[in-house]
Amino acid sequence: MEESERIEYLFMKEENRIYEEEQRKRREEEVTLQVAEKARLQAEQLAREMALLQQQLDVKRCLLLEAAGLEKTQCISRPWIYSYFTLLQLLGDNPTTAETTTSGL
């Protein structure tokens, strides 16, 4: 192999090495971005679930507070509420959804 061919071969080999290294770095960056995107989506999903759970907890707290207030001020207990809605169902007067949520206390 002549000197010029050897130099050209080494030059091509170096270019190929550099190209492969750039490709490897690009793939690593893509993987990193995909992992970051997945983590971001999971964090958003967790935040939505936490907000929903907090909202449900707030509703239940309000219902319990209201039930406790009714029991103290008007002597309306949870069994009374259950009996009232059971009677309504037996009479064929179906309570609305908002009313049935308070009966679950």
Task: State how far Cα 16 lies from the chain centre.
Answer: 45
Residue 19 lies in a domain: yes
This prediction's pTM = 0.52
Structural domain range at position 52: 1-58
Residue 98 lies in a domain: no
pLDDT of residue 95: 55
Report the domain count for the chain. 1
Nearest to 104 by CA among 65, 66, 63: 63
**Sequence-distant (≥ 6) Cβ neighbours of residue 9 within 8 angstroms:** 1
Question: Cα–Cα distance between 33 and 41 in angstroms, integer?
Answer: 12
How deeply is 103 buried, as exposed, middle or buried, from its count of CB atoms within 10 A (0-12, 13-18, 19+)?
Answer: middle
Residue 91 lies in a domain: no
The long-range contacts involving 73-82, CB below 8 angstroms and separated by at least 24 positions, are 78/105, 81/105
Residue 39 lies in a domain: yes
Residue 69 lies in a domain: no
Q: Say how many C-beta atoms besides its own lie within 10 A of residue 40's C-beta.
A: 10
pLDDT-flagged residues of the chain (< 70):
1, 94-105
Residue 17 lies in a domain: yes
- Enter the tokens of residue 36: 């970051």
Residue with structure tokens 């707290």? 61
Residue 23 lies in a domain: yes
pLDDT of residue 77: 81
